[in-house]
Amino acid sequence: MNPAFDEVLAAGSDAMLSAFDTTALRLGTASQNIEKDFWVCWTLDALFNGLKEGGPRLLFKGGTSLSKGFGLINRFSEDIDVTVFRDDIGEPATIEELEALSSKKRRARLDAIKDACQAHINGPLRAELTQILQDRLQAAGLDAGAARVEADDADPDGQTLLIWYPAATPRSDYVRAAIKIESGAKSALDPNSEVPIKPYVDDDLLALDLTVPAVRTVDPERT
């Protein structure tokens, strides 16, 4: 993972708030949005550069990927939408193979894919993200107890996680201090490419480079 994120965290809440306020003023938005964008990028770094090698691969997709990966839309988001590679969770199948099945067999296969994805998200992935979050906060001298990774009870499919981060900005009724990771394993995987992503605050922290490299992202024509 990019150690520059650790430097921002280690600078402390006052320094972080000052940086977020500066960027918010420049972009004409709330400081909470800038902080959340920082944590969206931190989470992407954890997902694509911080997990153990050999685990199921992930693919970044959706509206946030269009914004952060390609600059095609302008918005602040709390959501990270990812697809888990089916081959890597023991359910290999192409979209064409799934479409060729009868309705009953396709439903059964999709249920099996969902169950496998749910098991990975709520098991190994959640555990790894929790460990990364705790380790990084402790290394920065922050209270690791102020953050957590939990399942989102609002998702009936059980494939969504919430990463609650220790906010430096004032509490807001409109921007909660959590990043939502929405996952699944049924989407098409191609075409995709690796793209660099960086938070908005990077432009105001000239001594640091907060670029997140090699985020495997669905190409815009597919999203």
Q: Averaged over 26-53, what is the pLDDT?
A: 97
* Per-residue pLDDT at 66: 85
Q: Averaged over 122-143, what is the pLDDT?
A: 96
What is the residue extent of each domain of the chain?
3-218
For residue 78, pLDDT over 80 is answered with no
DSSP-H helix ranges across 63-211:
63-70, 95-100, 103-120, 126-139
Q: Encode pLDDT of 82-106 as tens digits.
A: 999 999 999 888 888 888 989 899 8
* Per-residue pLDDT at 186: 85
* Per-residue pLDDT at 121: 96
Tell me the C-alpha distance between 8 and 140, whole Å.
9
Q: Averaged over 121-132, what is the pLDDT?
A: 97
DSSP 158: S
> Three-state DSSP class for 216?
strand
* Per-residue pLDDT at 221: 75
The larger pLDDT score, comparing residue 39 to residue 221, is at 39
Q: For the chain, how big is the Rg over CA atoms in Å?
A: 18
188 — pLDDT class (breaks 50, 70, 90) = confident
Choice among 8-12, 91-95, 134-138 with the minimum mean pLDDT: 91-95
* Per-residue pLDDT at 222: 62
* Per-residue pLDDT at 93: 83
Tell me the C-alpha distance between 69 and 189, whole Å.
16
* Per-residue pLDDT at 187: 84
223 — pLDDT class (breaks 50, 70, 90) = low
The pTM for the full model equals 0.94
Q: Averaged over 121-141, what is the pLDDT?
A: 96
Choice among 17-31, 74-88, 124-138 with the minimum mean pLDDT: 74-88
